[in-house]
Each structure stands twice: as C-alpha cells, then as structure tokens.
Amino acid sequence: ETGVTQTPRHLVMGMTNKKSLKCEQHLGHNAMYWYKQSAKKPLELMFVYSLEERVENNSVPSRFSPECPNSSHLFLHLHTLQPEDSALYLCASSQAPGTGDEQYFGPGTRLTVT
C-alpha cells in the first residue's frame, strides 16, 4: 500500500447505527486530518492530530469521535448521525505539523445516512 488509504470507500448507515471510518498513511508523516466535503461547500476541517495528540477540534458535534492510536492510523467513530451528515469524508496527512506543510489526501469514504 502507498500513500493514504481509507476504508470503507462507501458506507450507508441508519441514524441509530454505530460505524467507524479508518485511515492509514504509509508516508511516514506526523500529522493526520479528517475533513468533510459536502456538495457546493468548501472542504471543512474536522480534526487534526499532530504526533498522535489532538490539536484541533473544529466545533464538530460529539456524534463524531476521532481516535489516533499511532502516527499511521486514524479513525472516525460515528454514532446517531443525521441525514445532513451525508458527505465525503476525507483523511489527509502531512510531514511537519504546525508548519503549513503540504497535505496529501486519501480516496475518501462516501457516507450516506438514511
């Protein structure tokens, strides 16, 4: 595997379900990010982890819960989502946190909440 990978690529879940998104980076980077991309809106930063510590929580509802067990893996745990949470969820990583370094994206998880 190379670059940034995400699983699953597509997810349909009901509002009462609990699911998790997984991201893995194979670049040796030290920072990982979760973004949300909705139609007609700019990418929205959700969470930032730098050296496995959360450094940014961009006013995200508590129904989204991130986890970063090590510098290569990032999870987004989902529970009791709303239909408006349907979007493309993107994971990204960068080499040097806190420096405005280039961020590289995974392929994303297309989430549909029914």
Partner 1 sequence: QKEVEQNSGPLSVPEGAIASLNCTYSDRGSQSFFWYRQYSGKSPELIMSIYSNGDKEDGRFTAQLNKASQYVSLLIRDSQPSDSATYLCAVSDNTDKLIFGTGTRLQVFP
Q: 13-42: which residues touch partner 1 (CB under 8 A)?
A: 31, 33, 40-42
d(C-alpha 83, C-alpha 27), whole Å: 34
- Any contact of residue 50 with partner 1 (CB under 8 A)? yes
User: What's the Rg (C-alpha) of the chain?
Assistant: 13
Nearest CA-CA partner of 66 in 12, 20, 29, 1 = 20
Nearer CB in complex with partner 1: 75/104: 104
Residue 17 backbone dihedrals phi, psi, to 5 degrees: -75, 165
Report the residue from 20, 60, 71, 104 that binds partner 1 according to the rule CB under 8 A: 104
Report the residue from 5, 17, 19, 43 that binds partner 1 according to the rule CB under 8 A: 43
Q: What single-letter amino acid sits at 9?
A: R
Per CB under 8 A, residues contacting partner 1 are: 31, 33, 40-43, 45, 48, 50, 55-56, 88, 90, 94, 97-108
